[in-house]
Amino acid sequence: MEINGKTRTCGLIGYPVEHTLSPVIHNTLAGLTGHDLVYVPFPVEPGRIQDAVRGADALQILGLNVTVPYKSEVIACLQEVDTMAQNIGAVNTLVRTPGGYKGYNTDMEGLYRAMISEGIRIEGERILLLGAGGAARAVAHLCAMKGAEQVYMLNRTLDKAKQVAEEVNRVAGREVICPMLLQEYDKIPDGQYLAIQGTSVGLAPQDDKVVISDRAFYEKIHTGFDLIYNPWETRFMSLVRECGGRAYNGLKMLLYQGIIAYELWNDIRVPEEDTQIIYGKLQEYFGQIP
């Protein structure tokens, strides 16, 4: 593309940001949709997030993605926060408005679209959720909002899981999240479940790690979704498949959260055929043949 005086800028703020795949998503989208837009990563050193947001506003940067460690800290810098992001307590997308930036969380809607694209439903499902950290907390909110029947939240520490469960159940207005210790997985009622792996265990280079290794646990899973996308296949996914279930990684979640952010910045709906073109590029990055 030709960059000129009319080119609008979007980008990513976080620390570090060198590893990000977001420029692949957004710069490809700009080319496919014909928008005069360029997307670049901006490393923001600790303690400088407020400076970064003010500077971006002064420079009229159209929109920003926000990654670790600033997804919660950035909220105090914003003019307005979307209800879903407020409930989750994390923002990953900023949209410039006349009064400042409005914050959204596209991670969870991205996860939902990724699941829908694979024929996975949340509505009416019984779900096993591994973890109670930031990502798992957001997933718990999504599951409650989208009508899950029951979510068993398994975590190393019960107090953390209880805290998240109380918060989500209060917002949902029903007792949908059931907190449990990880080692209590054998107490989960018999049946077939959708399982979501919401911890960092198994992230490269520790590809062989898994939160629960007992095959009896995986025999309860009809579909497993790991939020991790590097490695391409985690040990969690392998165990789900070995026990007869379907398994997916988090790359489509990364893709769709970016798609939704792009839609917010440009007030459009990205065609699904464009989404698939970008997914093919991401697959190639990981050495997978589309």
**Which residues belong to the active site?**
71
For 97, 148, 154, 165, the CA distances from 160, given in Å and listed in that order, are: 36, 21, 10, 9
d(CA 157, CA 136): 14
Contact present, 39 and 30 (Cβ < 8 Å) = yes
HSE-CB at 5 with a 13 A cutoff on CA atoms is 0
Residues in the chain, overall count = 290
Contact present, 164 and 143 (Cβ < 8 Å) = no
Give the full edge-to-edge strand order of the sheet including 221-226: 177-181, 150-155, 126-130, 193-197, 221-226, 246-248
Query: Which residue in this structure is represented by tokens 């909220």?
Result: 75
Of 24, 26, 31, 90, the C-alpha closest to 63 is 26
